[in-house]
């Protein structure tokens, strides 16, 4: 910690008791530059705004394409139907992201990339891929080739490009495996949303009866809403590991390592019935359900590791006097989070507590990069800004509160 001792050490101050527990304590005085004017770290950058605009245009293009096939009215009500599995995915990803929520503009970018850009890319490249690699005299017919070869490769590459884009344009919010899982999952959820409209529309157009549409909806929307989320989460996980280890220059290696299981999972889902299993139920309960359970367990273990890391990094600030022991527990433990929300709700300061917690989470991320030795030149300035921001937020939270 010698590299940032001046940054992290506050000057003595007039607060002799812990602001949350009332217990006597030392440290956490008024920082020398607590009133200094600083910018808001992590604002939505121009790169994110440009990417959002581009993805929105591509989504409009895909919508126009689908409307040309099924009709505008049909696409609209099929979109409402596709919102059901999308809602399930968003709820699940919100649970994954609950400890250190990612910025909404980046989450929206991931979702729009999946729904628009990756679908457009898969549609444009898919035919070219088939022309280059499909062998009519081979063992696979065209439909099987498209399902078990083309789709896993082309679609995962198109989705993975969106995860990589976020990895590049905002490193401050993509610095660990859980972050990568969230961004990859959002891209996958967006892709599944648009693909579901295509599948729902095709089944309805071919049969003209609601029965076939209902069967496809149950299969894709209720039995396997998280399929694409799980596939692309592998790509995000690998890039998150790349960021956590400070090996961003080796991103091609990590991207490849993430795409392999993503493509394999996609291949198993599309080709499992008929290649490895005789019935869908056997395939679903013997392979897909265990894989989903394993994924959930893995996420829980990663979340626990993330909380331990957060506690360790915030404790460094406690030792320097910026946070109290109660605050470290408040930020880095489930019980502490619940108590903090209850306290804030009782005092009408829920949003202030949310902002205070978010600042602490970002501080933990910055401190991790600094401690691990792979901080960039902006991280030290970002740390100073966040420390002083946390001081002001604490003062706002406690203003007028009788301890």
Residue 151 pLDDT > 90: yes
Residue 392 has, within 13 A of its CA and on its CB side, a CA count of 16
> Rounded CA gap, 269 and 292, in Å?
12
Per-residue confidence band for 170, with pLDDT thresholds at 50, 70 and 90? confident
- Residues contacting 356, CB < 8 A, separation 6+: 390, 393, 394, 397
Cross-strand pairs, 17: 24
The pLDDT score that the predictor gives to residue 27 is: 43
Judge contact between 102 and 361, C-beta under 8 A: no
Taking the C-alpha atoms of residue 346 and residue 350, their distance in angstroms, rounded to an integer, is 9
Mean pLDDT of 278-286: 88
**Beta carbons of 123 and 65 less than 8 angstroms apart:** yes
Residue 10 has pLDDT above 70, yes or no: no
pLDDT tier for residue 333 given thresholds of 50, 70 and 90 = very high
Q: Is 386 exposed, middle or buried (0-12, 13-18, 19+ CB in 10 A)?
A: buried
* Domain boundaries defined on the chain: 46-276, 284-403
Give the dihedral of Cα atoms 156, 90, 178, 164; nearest 10 deg: 40
Determine the Cα–Cα distance for residues 83 and 122; give it in Å rounded to an integer. 21
pLDDT given at position 8: 53
User: In angstroms, how far apart are the furthest CA atoms of the chain?
Assistant: 83
Reply yes or no on whether the pLDDT at 313 is more than 70: yes
Under 8 Å between Cβ of 171 and 248? yes
User: Nearest to residue 110, comparing CAs of 189, 221, 228, 224?
Assistant: 189
Neighbours of 35 (CB within 10 A): 11
Confidence band for 18, pLDDT divided at 50, 70 and 90: low
Q: How does pLDDT run across 24-60, given as a tens digit for each residue?
A: 444 444 443 343 333 344 455 788 999 999 999 999 9
Lowest mean per-residue pLDDT among 209-213, 229-233, 365-369, 384-388:
209-213
Mean pLDDT of 287-305: 94
């Amino acid at each position: 910690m010698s590299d940032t001792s001046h940054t992290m050490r506050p000057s003595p101050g007039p607060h002799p008791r812990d602001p949350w527990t009332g217990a006597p304590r030392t440290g956490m005085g008024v920082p020398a530059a607590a009133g200094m004017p600083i910018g808001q770290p992590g604002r939505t950058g121009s790169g994110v705004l440009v990417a959002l605009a581009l993805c929105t245009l591509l989504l409009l293009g895909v919508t126009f394409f689908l409307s040309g096939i099924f009709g505008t009215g049909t696409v609209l009500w099929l979109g409402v139907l596709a919102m059901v599995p999308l809602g399930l995915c968003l709820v699940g990803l919100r649970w994954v992201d609950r400890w250190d929520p990612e910025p909404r503009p980046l989450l929206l970018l991931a979702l729009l990339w999946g729904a628009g850009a990756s679908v457009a890319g898969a549609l444009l490249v898919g035919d070219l891929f088939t022309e280059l690699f499909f062998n009519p005299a081979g063992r696979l017919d065209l439909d099987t080739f498209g399902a078990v070869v083309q789709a896993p490769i082309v679609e995962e590459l198109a989705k993975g490009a969106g995860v990589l884009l976020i990895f590049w344009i905002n490193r401050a919010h993509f610095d660990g495996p859980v972050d990568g899982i969230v961004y990859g999952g959002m891209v996958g959820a967006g892709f599944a949303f648009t693909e579901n409209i295509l599948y729902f529309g095709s089944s309805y157009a071919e049969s003209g009866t609601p029965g076939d549409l209902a069967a496809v909806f149950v299969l894709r929307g209720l039995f396997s809403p998280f399929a694409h989320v799980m596939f692309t989460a592998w790509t995000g996980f690998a890039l998150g590991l790349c960021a956590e280890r400070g090996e961003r220059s080796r991103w091609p290696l990590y991207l490849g390592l993430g795409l392999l299981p993503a493509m394999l999972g996609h291949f198993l889902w599309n080709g499992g019935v008929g290649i490895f299993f005789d019935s869908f139920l056997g395939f679903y309960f013997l392979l897909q359900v265990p894989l989903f359970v394993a994924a959930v367990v893995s996420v829980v273990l990663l979340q626990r590791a993330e909380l331990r890391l957060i506690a360790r990094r915030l404790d460094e600030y406690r030792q320097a006097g910026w946070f109290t022991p109660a605050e470290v527990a408040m930020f880095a433990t489930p019980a502490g989070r619940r108590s903090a929300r209850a306290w804030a709700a009782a005092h009408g300061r829920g949003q202030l507590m949310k902002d205070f917690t978010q600042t602490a989470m970002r501080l933990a991320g910055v401190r991790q990069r600094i401690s691990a030795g792979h901080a960039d030149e902006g991280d030290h300035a970002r740390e100073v800004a966040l420390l002083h921001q946390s001081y002001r937020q604490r003062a706002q939270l406690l203003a007028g509160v009788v301890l």
